Structure 1
């Protein structure tokens, strides 16, 4: 049997307490993307109120939210980045040669 230093017991107890606190959080059902929240005069207090993800923890995009990657990734301390764009239903981004895409409001 391997004997670990006492600090590992404290860390284990703290980790178990942290996991237990997350387990007691309420499960909030996912909402659809809210065009009203996006176009409101005041932005929502929480980004989650925009409804961009059907599973916020897993970053599963909601319907209409599209993942994308850029062809010239920026260095960011080796952190992984996931990018998403939302287009309102029936709208499209317009491509203009030698310019940036033009996106609809929303």
Structure 2
């Protein structure tokens, strides 16, 4: 657990919690974008598509990531405003690995 999550003087929704929220959201977003990039590239390499079709596949990947991450990001924002460091810490752990 990081120090910013365990400071005793921290108020719910304070700077330390917002920092943890931002870090958790950033990690989730990076992971989603990494998966999207690999999978879109894989699909594009297996298909013979026009430039317009390639753009459509890339936009589809972007929309999927946006929609899939909207709920977890909103929940992390709520956890931060509630001072729920346990949820923020769990999110950081879940999305810190790389695959």
Normalization by structure 1: what TM-score? 0.26
Structure possessing the higher relative contact order (Cα contacts under 8 Å, 6 or more residues apart): 2
Higher helix share: 2
Higher strand share: 1
Q: Which has the larger radius of gyration?
A: 1
